[in-house]
Structure 1
Amino acid sequence: MKANKKSAFRELRNDKVLYVMLLPGLLYFLLFKYAPLYGIVIAFKDYDIFQGIWPSEWVGWKNFRDVFHYADFWIILRNTLLISLYKIIFGFPAPIAVALLLNELGNRFFKRVIQTVLYLPHFISWVVISGFILAIMSPHNGVVAFVYEWFGQEPRNLLIDPHLFRSILVASDIWKDLGWGTIIYLAALTQVDPSLYEAAIVDGAGKWKQTWHVTLPSIRNVIVLLLILRIGFLMNAGFEQILVMENPAVLNVTEILDTFVFKYGLQQGNYSFATAIGVFNSVIALVLVLAAQWVSKLFGEEGLS
């Protein structure tokens, strides 16, 4: 036992610089991720901001029953799941495809320019992007209005069309985060063994077969890992994006749990109700991550571990 303690202390002393570098990250998670978990108890209380958390009346599962019996809860939940699923189905494969295309470019300068152009939107806030979309979609002087007039049709305001608004949300989300995902997959592609391509060429494989039988299997672990993490955010359909882009005409197809919590829970002071929805979201996200991890293990992938 003493020998083990001495060995652990020696290892800690030898790697003390690494542990010091790790400390800010640990403090961040302790202060902003774990410490706020104390507030979960609000979901089980009739929270009064003037009384405080513990003096407030304990109501048990009442807030959760109120959530599930709320008139529009299931419509809001459906909107959340649909928008998130659309973003996964159409948005998750997009950076993989772009990374594969960029990986085939021989001109390094052109490749870096394309990467920079794709990556820039990641740093633009949704408020600014919303302004861009409003300007482009304007039925009076926007690009879309010009296209309609070019074909001799009356311009339409697509942003008030409930049937198209979700597509606009998904397309703008893909455009914004495409560069970030592309960089991750490009980094993974650098680890592919070149000898595998040489062997495939000897066997007569073309570019498509090389991609299908060499490239994709080589980065499969990264794809599975990112997919599991993305599934964990299934209940997060994009709060900032929808909050700045939605309007009353499309509210029935864009109201999600996060925006509902912000409007009904925080702005109106229903903190216990809002916390109950947050706990519900967290539990569902945990179940989804564990389920995705279990499925990945069934197919022989490493997953998160």
Structure 2
Amino acid sequence: MSGQAPTVSQKSMKARKPLGKQRSNFRKYKALYFITIPGILYFIIFKYLPLMGSVMAFQDYNIFKGFTGSPWVGLDQFKRMFTYTEFLRILENTVLIGLYDILIAFPVPIILALLLNELRKVLYKRILQTIVYLPHFLSWVIIGGIMIGILSPTTGIVNQMLNAVGIKSIYFLGEDSYIRSILVGTGIWKDSGWGTIIYLAALASVNPELYEAARMDGANRWKQTLSITIPAILPTITIMFLLHIGNFLDFGFERVFVFVNSLNEHKGDILDTYIYRVGLIDQQYSYTTAIGLFKSIVGLMLIMIGNTLSKKTSGEGLY
């Protein structure tokens, strides 16, 4: 009879359909589900299970007694962290280098992508793009060796150019006033080209008809960039910026370790190298675990604050 309300059995059949559909999807795409298993295991083993070790930050951890036998000290490790003069100096170094990296290094891939996008010869564009992001595939040990050779006070090309114009050689890695610029500059050289790939992919999705309409309205290339190109990739820029500030205090151990020495560590030593020296060499596990937990909390707070502000202003965010 038309208009008759569905019976209980009909309702239960409709409720069972999504479950059957899920099972059919699993059977259909079971190969893809199996492929994800190594990735899931990676995050469980190397990302989530190590979080259990964070309890060391609240203990006077003894490697022979383990988690259960080590005495609890509460927040003593954190109190020590914020009252220790050397830690405050290293925290200042990390914050300043992180700010330089955001203000100077972060915009470079965007600018490179905009410049490469303006090239009309595809072959020339691909060659330049390959040259620019090739350093990304080199390790920091190789990058460090290259830069140490370039900045050498005796045989380095930089000092040879300075000597050619009558300026005395400068021992760049022997003075702490240059180390922050070297760290940020080498990071730009190594990773900015790789970052352009993401922005070039975003630029490829821009509708060409928008540029045609802008040209018909008399807009030159600069105005087209300001009114079409940058707004089109702004969501990508926002996401990349949020991911970047999440690693604000995580500048990278290898990146700094290859350049820092006893002559420049006063301004070049960061939290990662400090954790290596105090935690692994001096075996102060609880203290360095507290530092690592502090870094994670700061990164999480920055992501949450940045995501909230981003969603209020541009409507884009990580979640």
| Rounded Cα–Cα distance in structure 2 between residues aligned with 1:3 and 1:138 | 71
SS state at 1:236 partner: coil
Per-residue CA distance 1:31-83 (angstroms, 9 max, x = gap): 11111111111111111111112211111111111111112222111110110
What is aligned with 1:139? 153
TM-score, length basis structure 1: 0.96
1:163 aligned onto 2:177: yes
1:236 aligned onto 2:281: no
What is aligned with 1:119? 133
What is aligned with 1:64? 78
| Rounded Cα–Cα distance in structure 2 between residues aligned with 1:156 and 1:179 | 29
Per-residue CA distance 1:131-165 (angstroms, 9 max, x = gap): 11111111111112211221122211122222222
Compute the displacement of 1:4 (Å).
4.0
| Rounded Cα–Cα distance in structure 1 between residues aligned with 2:87 and 2:275 | 11
| Rounded Cα–Cα distance in structure 2 between residues aligned with 1:180 and 1:149 | 34
Q: 1:228·1:289 contact (CA, 8 Å) conserved in 2?
A: yes
1:220 aligned onto 2:269: no
1:278 aligned onto 2:266: no
Compute the displacement of 1:22 (Å).
2.1
Counterpart amino acid of 2:294? F
Counterpart amino acid of 2:70? S
Q: 1:221·1:302 contact (CA, 8 Å) conserved in 2?
A: yes
Where do residues 141-290 of structure 1 align in structure 2 (5 Å cutoff)? 141-290=155-304
| Rounded Cα–Cα distance in structure 1 between residues aligned with 2:76 and 2:17 | 54
1:304 aligned onto 2:309: no
Q: 1:232·1:286 contact (CA, 8 Å) conserved in 2?
A: yes
Q: 1:44·1:58 contact (CA, 8 Å) conserved in 2?
A: yes
Counterpart amino acid of 1:195? E
Residue of structure 2 aligned with 1:97, choices 111, 133, 136? 111
Q: 1:81·1:237 contact (CA, 8 Å) conserved in 2?
A: no
Task: Please identify, of 58-67 and 282-291, the stretch whose mean Cα deviation from structure 2 is larger.
Answer: 58-67
Q: 1:224·1:301 contact (CA, 8 Å) conserved in 2?
A: no
| Rounded Cα–Cα distance in structure 2 between residues aligned with 1:154 and 1:226 | 41
What is aligned with 2:30? 16
Identical pairs, percent: 46
Task: Please identify, of 18-27 and 293-302, the stretch whose mean Cα deviation from structure 2 is larger.
Answer: 18-27
Q: 1:234·1:285 contact (CA, 8 Å) conserved in 2?
A: yes
Q: 1:47·1:53 contact (CA, 8 Å) conserved in 2?
A: yes
SS state at 2:170 partner: coil
Counterpart amino acid of 1:65? K
Task: Please identify, of 176-185 and 22-31, the stretch whose mean Cα deviation from structure 2 is larger.
Answer: 22-31
Compute the displacement of 1:234 (Å).
0.3
SS state at 1:47 partner: coil
What is aligned with 1:73? 87
What is aligned with 2:6? none
| Rounded Cα–Cα distance in structure 2 between residues aligned with 1:220 and 1:145 | 40
What value does the CA root-mean-square deviation take over the aligned residues?
A: 1.3
| Rounded Cα–Cα distance in structure 2 between residues aligned with 1:270 and 1:123 | 34
Computing the radius of gyration over CA atoms, which structure comes out larger, 1 or 2? Answer: 2
Counterpart amino acid of 1:292? G
What is aligned with 1:46? 60
SS state at 2:25 partner: helix
Aligned residues: 305
Structure 1 unaligned spans of 5+: none
Q: 1:127·1:244 contact (CA, 8 Å) conserved in 2?
A: yes
TM-score, length basis structure 2: 0.92
Counterpart amino acid of 2:61? Y
Counterpart amino acid of 2:301? V
Per-residue CA distance 1:156-192 (angstroms, 9 max, x = gap): 1122222222111111110000111011111111111
Per-residue CA distance 1:176-231 (angstroms, 9 max, x = gap): 00111011111111111111111111111100011111011111111000000000
